[in-house]
């Protein structure tokens, strides 16, 4: 790597994923492309000829790297074994890459190692190398130490023992070594035969030899495709978890509000009683003595304010009547709004649970941004401007015909009002949020009753009721499905519907997305 990079000038930096950077060098008529990854479970650095996808808005750290490194010539690469760090000397700046599992980091410093920026935040103003490891270095351990350490270890699975006992090896590398030796990762060291232990050592030695020659094996495809797949999976999980956490907090807040609103409605039930008490006071003005704090009328004790006259006491009860009467309608309206918002959040939650890729997450994030759900909590999401960046689920009936299922509210609206035809059937789980499902028969050889049941089972499966044993699903012709007003994607009003009770699931006789 040093021979291919030294003397070349850096002319481009891209950031396809949050923790993956692409550096492009040029010099002597040749270009080199280097990928640096700080992903927790796929930290690596390598040169490549093929780059797939760089279309991400660069982070502030990426912009900092561009400011200080672009146009600079790389002078040397510095590595201090057994430390898992690599330093790139860019004339006036140093770029330090730390391969430390979950703590993997990329740091930019000046020549005196004063930190200018880092991918993961560092609180010290000056860079200091990581502490020397207390465990033996995996690439440099010799045979007798390797066996002694494992012989004295506890009876844990060997797949967990290797990363915990040796420094410089992760879970992925451990599994590759065990797979090459033909050993189950759940077996303990003490249960291995002497022959298997020797095979493990040979596999271990071979792996680190290949690693020292720059031939670290990847499970599938090129290193680039492996890293991109891993980074996309991590980003999907991170965004999904953040959105789900935010939705859960929002739901808890609304549920508390609903509870208070219901308690307020119970209090308004006394409004008519305040009117009755006020009328009783007016009807018995001559019987109420001045400065009385209470009076018993018609067998009921009525509290009075002794500083007020009887008429003003009656007026106080009338004011309470008006207050509670007015608040009854206000609370009813607000309660309906809260319950509607709760249903909407449940729909977003279900869409998130059904999402399978980043485009689905971005659609939901954009939907939440439109209703201003993020103003009280910062969630870092790169929502794309297009409404539909992924396709709905498609299932095919034997002999022709298909079933479409939306993944989110935008897709539900799209397949119902754009893709569906008047003769198609529309399905949705009753009284709960879920996917809109469209059944297109297209002269299918499948019996109509069997096709309807299949579509209903899919509608039940992609809903909040998917874990129920039996679910009611409404269906009707698409021409009887209208948009609800005020408009909100996915909200509809249906008529002339029928109901079928089914078990949630995807029938085995269907082909397509499972």
Cβ atoms within 10 Å, residue 145: 12
Segment 439-458 mean pLDDT: 86
| 385 found inside a domain | no
- 341 against 215, higher pLDDT: 341
User: Would strands 492-494 and 481-483 be described as parallel, antiparallel, or unpaired?
Assistant: antiparallel
| 15 found inside a domain | yes
| 382 found inside a domain | no
Place of tokens 């979950």: 102
- 449 against 357, higher pLDDT: 449
pLDDT of 55-64, one tens digit each?
567 889 999 9
Residue 485 has pLDDT above 90, yes or no: no
pLDDT at 17: 80
Residue 161 has pLDDT above 50, yes or no: yes
pLDDT at 222: 46
| Residue 400 and residue 440 in one domain | yes
| Residue 266 and residue 355 in one domain | yes
Q: For residues 160, 165, 169 and 172, what is the CA-based torsion angle, rounded to 10 degrees?
A: 0
pLDDT band at 298 (very low <50, low <70, confident <90, very high): confident
Residue 131: partners with Cβ closer than 8 Å, 6 or more residues away: none
- 161 against 63, higher pLDDT: 63
| Residue 332 and residue 270 in one domain | yes
| 364 found inside a domain | no
Residue 488 has pLDDT above 90, yes or no: no
242: tokens are 């953040």
| Residue 207 and residue 175 in one domain | yes
| Residue 444 and residue 342 in one domain | no
Residue 474: partners with Cβ closer than 8 Å, 6 or more residues away: 427, 428, 429, 430, 494, 497, 498, 499
pLDDT at 123: 85
What are 428's strand-pairing partners? Answer: 474
pLDDT at 368: 66
Residue 445 has pLDDT above 80, yes or no: no
| Residue 265 and residue 338 in one domain | yes
pLDDT at 422: 87
Residue 158: C-alpha distances to residues 118, 151, 214, 490 (Å): 35, 11, 26, 51
| 178 found inside a domain | yes
pLDDT at 416: 92
Identify the burial level of 338 via C-beta atoms within 10 angstroms of its C-beta, where 0-12 means exposed, 13-18 middle and 19 or more buried.
buried
Residue 112 has pLDDT above 50, yes or no: yes
| 386 found inside a domain | no
Highest average pLDDT, of 189-198, 312-321, 391-400, 495-504, comes from 495-504
Contact at 8 Å (CB) between 367 and 409?
A: yes
339: tokens are 């319950």
| 369 found inside a domain | no
pLDDT at 379: 41
Contact at 8 Å (CB) between 416 and 277?
A: no
Distance CA 190, CA 184 (A): 13
- 101 against 419, higher pLDDT: 419
pLDDT of 241-256, one tens digit each?
888 888 888 889 999 9
Residue 504 has pLDDT above 50, yes or no: yes
Q: What is the pTM of this model?
A: 0.43
pLDDT, averaged across the chain: 81
pLDDT band at 395 (very low <50, low <70, confident <90, very high): very high
pLDDT of 114-140, one tens digit each?
999 999 888 889 988 777 667 787 778
Segment 462-491 mean pLDDT: 87
483: phi then psi, degrees, rounded to nearest 5: -70, 140
For residue 117, give the H/E element and its range: strand 115-118
| Residue 174 and residue 255 in one domain | no
290: tokens are 């001045």
User: Would strands 294-297 and 76-79 be described as parallel, antiparallel, or unpaired?
Assistant: unpaired
Per DSSP, which regions of 218-347 are E strands? Answer: 294-297, 300-303
452: tokens are 């309807």
- 4 against 116, higher pLDDT: 116
Task: Look at residues 67, 85, 118 and tell me which one is the last residue of a structural domain.
Answer: 118
Q: How many CA atoms lie within 13 A of 233 on its CB side?
A: 10
Distance CA 393, CA 415 (A): 10
Contact at 8 Å (CB) between 396 and 512?
A: yes
Segment 137-144 mean pLDDT: 83
Q: 30-34, 80-84, 418-422: lowest mean pLDDT where? A: 80-84
| Residue 422 and residue 503 in one domain | yes
- The CATH number that applies at residue 78 is 2.30.310.10
| 283 found inside a domain | yes
- 38 against 499, higher pLDDT: 499
pLDDT at 487: 66
Cβ atoms within 10 Å, residue 131: 7
pLDDT of 344-394, one tens digit each?
888 888 888 777 777 777 777 766 654 545 444 444 344 443 444 568 899
- The CATH number that applies at residue 186 is 1.10.8.50
Task: Look at residues 167, 183, 212 and tell me which one is the last residue of a structural domain.
Answer: 212
| Residue 417 and residue 332 in one domain | no
pLDDT at 65: 93
Segment 3-29 mean pLDDT: 86
Question: Which structural domain range is residue 201 located in?
Answer: 138-212
| pLDDT > 70 fraction of the chain, expressed in percent and rounded | 84
Q: For residues 248, 250, 255 and 258, what is the CA-based torsion angle, rounded to 10 degrees?
A: -160
Highest average pLDDT, of 66-80, 138-152, 168-182, 492-506, comes from 492-506
| Residue 253 and residue 203 in one domain | no
| Residue 355 and residue 457 in one domain | no
Task: Look at residues 359, 379, 412 and tell me which one is the last residue of a structural domain.
Answer: 359
Concatenated DSSP letters for 364-383?
A: HHHHHHHTTTTTTS------
pLDDT of 258-294, one tens digit each?
998 888 887 777 777 888 888 888 888 888 888 888 8
Residue 269: partners with Cβ closer than 8 Å, 6 or more residues away: none
Q: How many domains does the chain have?
A: 4
| Residue 238 and residue 169 in one domain | no
pLDDT of 398-425, one tens digit each?
878 899 999 888 888 889 988 899 889 9
């Amino acid at each position: 790597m040093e021979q291919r990079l030294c003397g070349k000038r850096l002319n481009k930096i891209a950031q396809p994923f949050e923790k993956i950077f692409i550096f492009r060098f040029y010099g002597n008529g040749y270009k080199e492309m280097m990928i640096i990854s700080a992903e927790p479970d796929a930290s690596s650095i390598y040169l490549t000829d093929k780059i797939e996808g760089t279309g991400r808005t660069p982070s502030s750290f990426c912009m900092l790297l561009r400011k200080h490194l672009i146009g600079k010539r790389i002078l040397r690469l510095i590595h201090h074994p057994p430390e898992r760090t690599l330093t790139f000397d860019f004339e006036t700046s140093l770029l330090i890459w730390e391969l430390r599992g979950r703590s993997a980091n990329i740091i930019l410093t000046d020549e005196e190692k004063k930190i200018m920026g880092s991918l993961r935040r560092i609180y010290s103003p000056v860079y200091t190398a990581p502490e020397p490891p207390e465990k033996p270095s995996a690439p440099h351990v010799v045979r007798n130490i390797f066996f002694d350490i494992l012989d004295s270890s506890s009876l844990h699975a060997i797949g967990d023992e290797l990363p915990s006992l040796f420094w410089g090896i992760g879970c992925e590398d451990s599994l590759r070594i065990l797979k090459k030796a033909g050993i189950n990762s759940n077996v303990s060291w003490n249960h291995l035969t002497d022959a298997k232990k020797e095979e493990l050592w040979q596999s271990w030695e071979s792996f680190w030899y290949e690693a020292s020659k720059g031939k670290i094996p990847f499970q599938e495809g090129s290193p680039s495709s492996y890293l991109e797949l891993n980074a996309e999976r991590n980003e999907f999980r991170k965004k999904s978890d953040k959105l789900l956490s935010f939705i859960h907090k929002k739901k808890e807040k609304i549920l508390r509000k609903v509870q208070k609103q219901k308690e307020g409605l119970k209090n308004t039930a006394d409004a008519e009683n305040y009117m009755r008490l006020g009328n009783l006071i007016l009807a018995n003005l001559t019987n109420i003595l001045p400065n009385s704090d209470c009076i018993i009328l018609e067998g009921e004790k009525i509290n009075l304010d002794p500083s007020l006259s009887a008429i003003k006491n009656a007026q106080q009860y009338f004011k309470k009547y008006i207050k509670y009467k007015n608040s009854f309608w206000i609370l009813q309206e607000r309660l309906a709004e809260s319950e509607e918002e709760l249903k909407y959040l449940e729909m977003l939650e279900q869409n998130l649970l059904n999402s399978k890729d980043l485009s689905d997450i971005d659609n939901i994030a954009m939907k939440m941004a439109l209703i201003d759900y993020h103003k009280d909590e910062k969630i870092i999401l790169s929502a794309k401007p297009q409404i539909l960046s992924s396709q709905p689920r498609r299932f095919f009936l034997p002999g022709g015909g298909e079933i479409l299922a939306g993944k989110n509210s935008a897709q539900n609206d799209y397949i119902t009002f754009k893709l569906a035809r008047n003769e198609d059937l529309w399905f949705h789980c009753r009284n709960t949020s879920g996917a809109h499902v469209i059944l297109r028969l297209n002269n299918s050889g499948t019996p109509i009753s069997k096709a309807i049941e299949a579509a209903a089972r899919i509608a039940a499966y992609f809903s909040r009721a998917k874990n129920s044993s039996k679910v009611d699903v409404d269906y009707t012709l698409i021409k009887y499905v209208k948009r609800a007003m005020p408009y909100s994607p996915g909200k509809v009003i249906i008529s002339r519907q029928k109901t079928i009770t089914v078990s949630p699931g995807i029938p085995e006789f269907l082909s397509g997305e499972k």
